[in-house]
Structures are given as C-alpha cells and as structure tokens.
Structure 1
Amino acid sequence: MSKLSDQVVLVTGSSRGLGLAIARAFHTEGCRLVLNCSGPDSYPRTQEIAKDLGGIAIQADVTDAEQVLSLFGQAERQFAEPISVVVNNALADFKFNGNGRKSLGTIEWGDFDKQLRVAVQGALNTTKAALPGFEKLGRGRIINIGSNLVQNPVVPYQDYCAAKGALLAFTHSMAAELGPKNITCNLVAGGLLKVTDASSATPSEVFDQIAAATPLRRVTTPDDLAGAVLFFASPWANAITGQQVIVDGGLVMS
C-alpha cells in the first residue's frame, strides 16, 4: 500500500460526528477526501466542510446502488484516480438512550431492516462500486465501523447490535474473498463515544459509569477511534485483514 497522502478516501456519513472526525484525521495526513451525506438537508454543511478540507462533497444514499456508483464515478473524474480507501461509517438514524430503547416486546422487524440496510447493504454497495477502481490500482482498503456492543451488549439495542454483528461477519467474508486482489477489509469497533449526535441522548451518568469501568478511566472520543481507522488505511497494516480492533479504552478485552 502506498503512503497515506497518496490515497483518495471516501468516508460515508461524514457530515458530522464520528465520520467528520475520521475525515479530518485523513485530511491531516494529506489525503484527498470524498465526504458523503445522504440527505439534502445536510448537503450544504457537507459542502462547506469539504471545502475547508480540500475535498469534495457528494450526496448519496448508501442503500441505493445507483447513487453509490454515481458517487464513485464523480470522485474518479474529480481526482483523475479511483477511490482507494473506503470507510463505511454511515449510520441509520439512531439514539443511544437505554431508557428510551425498544424492548423485545415492542421492537419490530422494520427497526432491524432500517439498521441492516444502512450497515450491511450500504457496505455491500460501496464495496461493489469500489472494486473496479481497486483492481485498476492493484490495491484497496475497506474499513468498516462497528461497535463493542456486539461483544458486550450492556444495553441491548437489539436492532443496532444485530446490524453491527452482521457487518462484522461480512467483514470476515469480504476479507477472505478480496485478499487475493490485494484488498484488505477490517473493522474498527467503537465504544460509546463522547459526544456524537447519536450519543447526545445518552444520560450523563452513563458516561460517568463507563469511565469508571474502563481501565483508562475515560470515555472514548471520535478522535480516538479515528486513529485506529488511519492505522488500517496505512502501510503499517499491509498484512492485516479480516480483523476487528475495539477502541473503547479497554472496556472490552479480547
């Protein structure tokens, strides 16, 4: 893999929160950035951010294969080079509020379907769209964003955990198929992050409890997780594929 500054990087769901922190981290390394948002309401903001970071903003719903194909085409025309790193960060609308979550008695399949379509179908669409460019370059990196709740569902968000668990399994199977093409596929699983739009609904006492239970005695930030994403995109991870790293200050150890 070439150095980070040579990469064209797509971060899905990068108009705010964790995705924006990841995009900024790649920017500091000199990467060319493709920022993505799904809806028109967030597009003006995404354009402003892309301008500040010297990248481009493209509105596309990752669950729509045609929109994703168009995104990759626009990016390659803009940079005269295919996207070489894909970060699947897009998240269906979700709030981490254990008191407000749906229990097994009230949750419906539609809730699962909403999370699965963005997490798994979205990753499938970006991967399929990325493959021709990866093959042209002779290399590629796919980095999926998961959750430590798959290993330790201290709050049983049934739909969210199921989708992230499926994404982890998909990461393993993608790595097995794409390895011979010099394409790596890994997953970074975050803990509860302080603070994103999704975790803004989390009561403050929950952050305190997590900090007290974590060996580092603090809650993980989006910038902490972004560092692990950069590692998987870097030359230091050339021989690493099909792996998960959990970034939560040691709360979940494996």
Structure 2
Amino acid sequence: MNIKDQVVLVTGASRGLGAEIAKAFGREGARVILNYYQSEEKAKEVVEKIGSEAIAIQADVLDRDQVENMFEKAESHFNHPVTTIVNNALVNFKFDSVNRKDAKKIDWEDYQVQLEGSIKAALHTTQVAYEGMATLQFGRIINIGTNLVQDPVVPYHDYNTSKAALIGFTRNMASDLGANGITVNMVSGGLLRVTDASSPTPPEVFDLIKEDTLLKQVTTPEELADTVLFFASRWSRVVTGQNLVVDGGQVMN
C-alpha cells in the first residue's frame, strides 16, 4: 500500500518530532490523525498546515478506553481502518543533562512513568489497531526510540531503559504480527535540534554532539521524520523487527 493510500496515526503529534512526522506524511498525501493530550491549539495549527486530509483527536494514550475511542473517531472520519501507527508520544520527560536524576536519586516510580509511556502506550495502539490491520493484511507500526540505548552518553536512567524495553517490544510484536502483513520497526534518533523536550539542553552539548557525528551535524526533527516515512513505504515492505539509528553516524551498529 502506497503512503498516499494509508491512514496514519501519529501519537504526540501537536509539536516537535511528532508534528514533523505528521507533516511529512501529509506531504506524501496520506490521511493523518494527529493525537494530542493537552496541546489542542498547537495540534490544530499542524492540521491547518497539512490540509483537509488531517484531523486532530485528543486522547491519553495510557488510557485504553480513550485509545479505542480515538480509533473509532478516526475510522469514522476517514471511513477506513488505521493502517499505520507512529508511537511517538513522550510522557513527562525533558532532556536536561544538568538536572537529571543520577544513580543515587532515581526512583522506581520514575522508571514506571517512562516504561508506561513507552510500552503501555504502544501496546494500546497496537492492540486496538490489530483487527483492522489483520483484515487488510497490511499494517505499519513504527516506534520512536533513542540512540542513548546503544551509547548512554547521558544516563537518563528511566528514559533510556524504557526505550531499551521498546526494542524488545518491537521485535516481539514483529514476530507475532508478521503473518498478518503487519511490520513493526523502530527509528532511534539522537538528541534533536530542537524540540520542546530537548530545549533544556545547553548549547555546548549540541556542539559536542555535532563534533561526534560523522556528518558533523545535529539531526533535526524533519530529517528523522523522513526516515519514519521509509518504514511506511513500499521500499521497506519486507523489513520488520529492526531498529534503525538515525543520528548522523554518532552511533554505528
């Protein structure tokens, strides 16, 4: 199925990376659902930029009932099941290397928040979408991760660990859903310049990252969004269970 024929849900799409992913799909002609939790005005601004083939729907992706209601609204609006999911929503986290909790201060509750934000949210969207995707014998699930799993240069213990768990989730779902024509992959960026979440990062950290990449540049949200499109395109139709690091060559697998 070409991207222009897909119905794409992007979670956490009102700003930052999520907004750029939604706009990238919009440019390719897809029908796009922008999920947001609180930022209604910003979500509607993104919808206006995409045009008539986009809709914004509020839902807390940690709440199964709200996710089911979101899918019902989306499928009713477009008269078609959701074919493609980008699990991008970030729950209560800032990339603040100065004020982060170190090994002595991190609490189990901090881990729980990020594990639920990564795994519980992705589980909800995957399970709710499954029936429609299986009926179509087509589905694309793309999870957003981080290169900090491979190289925790800043040990954000809760966030990094939750994204490591998301790799396991991605591979297990890929194994279980592949027979139904559903691929499950992961795109892992480095620190992006600049999103709301990365805005607390000091400029000197961005400078260090730039010098540490092979391309001598810090990846932007727009550049990462283009790679997400790859996993939804026909070019990746037999690729599943993979984690692609997109960071200008800072981390090489």
TM-score, normalised with respect to structure 1: 0.97
Query: Which residue of the partner structure matches residue 14 of structure 1?
Result: 13
| 2:33/2:55 contact within 8 Å kept | yes
1:93 CA drift (Å): 1.8
The question of whether the paired residues in 1 share the 8 Å contact of 2:37 and 2:60 is answered with yes
Q: Within 2, Cα distance between the matches of 1:178 and 1:222?
A: 29
Q: What is residue 136 of structure 2 aligned with on the other side?
A: 137
2:42 matches 1:45: yes
Alignment match, 2:240: 241
Amino acid at match of 2:143: N
* Contact in 1 for aligned 2:62/2:120 (Cα 8 Å): yes
**Alpha carbon RMSD of aligned pairs, Å?**
0.8
Please tell me whether residue 150 in structure 1 is matched to residue 149 in structure 2: yes
| Deviant stretches of 4+, over 3 Å | none
* CA drift at 1:148: 0.2
**Contact 2:23–2:46 (CA under 8 A) maintained in structure 1:** no
Alpha-carbon shift at residue 212 of structure 1 (Å) = 0.6
Q: What corresponds to 2:230 in structure 1?
A: 231
Give the equivalent residue in structure 2 for 1:253. Answer: 252
**Matched residue SS, 1:198:** coil
* Residue aligning to 1:187: 186
Residue 221 of structure 1: CA displacement? Answer: 0.4
Q: 1:93: which partner in 2?
A: 92
Corresponding residue number in structure 2 for 1:65 = 64
Structure 1 unaligned residues grouped into runs of 5+? none
Would you say 1:197 and 2:196 are equivalent positions? yes
Q: In 1, Cα distance between the equivalents of 2:8 and 2:74?
A: 10
Q: Which residue of 2 aligns with 1:213?
A: 212
> Structure 2: where are the runs of 5+ without partners?
none
Partner of 2:91: helix, strand, or coil? coil
1:99-141 alpha-carbon deviations (Å, 9 max, x no partner): 1100111111111111111110000000001001102211100
- Identity between Structure 1 and Structure 2 (%): 53
Distance 2:31 2:192 in 1: 26
Deviation digits for residues 159-194 of structure 1 (CA, Å, limit 9, x no counterpart): 000110001110000000000011000000000100
- Match of 1:247, as an amino acid? V
**Alpha-carbon distance in 1 for matches of 2:175, 2:134:** 16
- Residue by residue over 1:53-103, the C-alpha shift from the partner in whole angstroms, topping out at 9 and shown as x without a partner, is 131110000100000011111100000000100000000121112111001
Amino acid at match of 1:51: E
- Asked whether the equivalents of residues 10 and 85 of structure 2 are also in contact (C-alpha less than 8 Å), the reply is yes
* CA–CA distance in structure 2, aligned partners of residues 134 and 11 of structure 1: 16
Q: Partners of 1:193 and 1:100 in 2: how far apart?
A: 19
Amino acid paired to 1:48? E
Structure 1, 180-189 or 53-62: larger mean CA deviation: 53-62
Structure ranking higher in helix proportion: 1
1:164 aligns with 2:158: no
TM-score, structure 2 as length reference: 0.98
Aligned residue-pair number = 251
